[in-house]
């Protein structure tokens, strides 16, 4: 099953994804997309909180750019793959080669998902519910995030919006 979990910052997306993975029958592979920035103490603290919350038995792959490749390599009917988070991945790619690289990687991801067999949980931040941001790069990020989530929602079996820790199933079977 392919699932997309969206929500705002601190909405409970990752906790829900981790709960669903724990309930799955298979080996869990956690793909973290954050590009580690050693001089950002707040980001290092966020990463540490995520690591501390995850079971030690879960495999961890840190992949800020080649997401489709990481998913493909770890795809198995017996595995449950969590990708956390799509919007960090998007940020990493938009800053490379004026965003052209993102189009290639997004196409690779969408293509892979059409053929994907197994359990996949994608986590992303919903950033389109507020005002249109000032600044060209901020608007590009918001626009591309919305387009990416729409394309992923179209190929996922279940789409969940998470607010205040409460999941609302937008597409697919409910809990």
Question: Would you say 13 is a known binding-site residue?
Answer: yes
52 is in an annotated binding site: yes
Q: Give the burial string for 92-119 (b: 16+ CB within 10 Å, else e).
A: bbbeeeeeeebeebbebbeebbeebebb
Binding site annotation covers 32?
yes
Residue 114 appears among annotated catalytic residues? no
Q: Report the distance separating Cα 100 and Cα 105, nearest Å.
A: 9
Q: Hey, what are 104's tokens?
A: 């290639």
Does residue 53 have a known ligand-binding role?
Answer: yes
Sheet (strand 27-32) strand order: 59-62, 27-32, 79-84, 119-125, 2-7, 158-163, 166-171
Does 69 appear as a known binding residue?
Answer: no
Token pair of 139 as six digits: 């608007």
87 is in an annotated binding site: no
Ligand-binding annotation for 165, yes or no, is no
* Active-site hit among 2, 50, 149, 158: 50
The answer to whether 164 is a known ligand-binding residue is: no
Residues assigned a catalytic role: 50
The binding site for GTP consists of: 7-14, 32-34, 51-54, 62, 84
The binding site consists of: 7-14, 32-34, 51-54, 62, 84
């Amino acid at each position: 099953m392919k699932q997309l979990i969206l929500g705002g910052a601190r909405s409970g997306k990752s906790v829900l994804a981790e709960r669903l993975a724990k309930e799955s029958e298979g080996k869990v592979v956690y793909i973290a997309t954050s590009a580690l920035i050693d001089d950002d103490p707040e980001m290092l603290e966020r990463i540490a909180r995520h690591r501390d919350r995850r079971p030690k038995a879960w495999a961890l792959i840190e992949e800020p750019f080649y997401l489709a490749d990481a998913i493909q390599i770890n795809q198995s009917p017996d595995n449950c793959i969590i990708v956390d988070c799509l919007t960090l991945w998007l940020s990493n790619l938009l800053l490379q080669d004026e965003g052209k690289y993102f189009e290639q990687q997004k196409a690779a991801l969408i293509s892979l998902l059409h053929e994907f067999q197994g359990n996949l949980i994608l986590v992303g931040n919903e950033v389109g519910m507020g005002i249109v941001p000032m600044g060209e790069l901020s608007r590009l990020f918001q626009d591309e995030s919305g387009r990416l989530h729409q394309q992923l929602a179209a190929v996922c079996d279940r789409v969940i919006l998470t607010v205040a820790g409460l999941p609302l199933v937008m597409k697919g079977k409910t809990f």
